[in-house]
Amino acid sequence: QVHLVESGGGLVRPGGSLRLSCAASGSIASISVMAWHRQAPGKQRELVASTTRGGSTNYADSVKGRFTIASDFSVNTMYLQMNSLKPEDTAVYFCRIYAASGPLWRDYWGQGTQVTVSS
């Protein structure tokens, strides 16, 4: 089995910062993609940022210049540094990996962590 555990969510004022962490454990043979997604109430889950083992990164337009994804594939850990937070960043944030467990490649998801941006 593969488990992802997120931490670092909470309540922050507009303009503030938060750092999310996600650690993957279990029967992981290899990870090729690490990503953060978010889902606000009444909205679909959306990709926030992703990174590959090869070093490519991708960001949603709404977070470019404010959020930074970091990863350490050697210890199956990823981070999301969120600066200049806005109320519209309020959502449950999920980490995801695309990984092999044995011969099978698939997506694995964390349980989510709430981020609330409010004054």
pLDDT in tens, 59-116: 999 999 999 999 999 999 999 999 999 999 999 999 999 999 988 999 999 999 999 9
In degrees rounded to 5, what are phi and psi of residue 87?
A: -55, -35
Task: Give pLDDT, residue 102.
Answer: 86
10-33 pLDDT tens trace: 999 999 999 999 999 999 999 999
Q: What is the CB-side half-sphere exposure of residue 69 using CA atoms within 13 A?
A: 28
CB-based burial label for 64 (10 Å; 0-12, 13-18, 19+): exposed
Q: Is 88 helix (H, G, I), strand (E, B) or coil?
A: helix
Quote the radius of gyration of the chain (alpha carbons, Å). 14
Spatial contact of 36 and 20, defined as CB atoms under 8 Å apart: yes
Paired strand residues for 20: 80
Spatial contact of 114 and 49, defined as CB atoms under 8 Å apart: no
27-49 pLDDT tens trace: 999 999 999 999 999 999 999 99
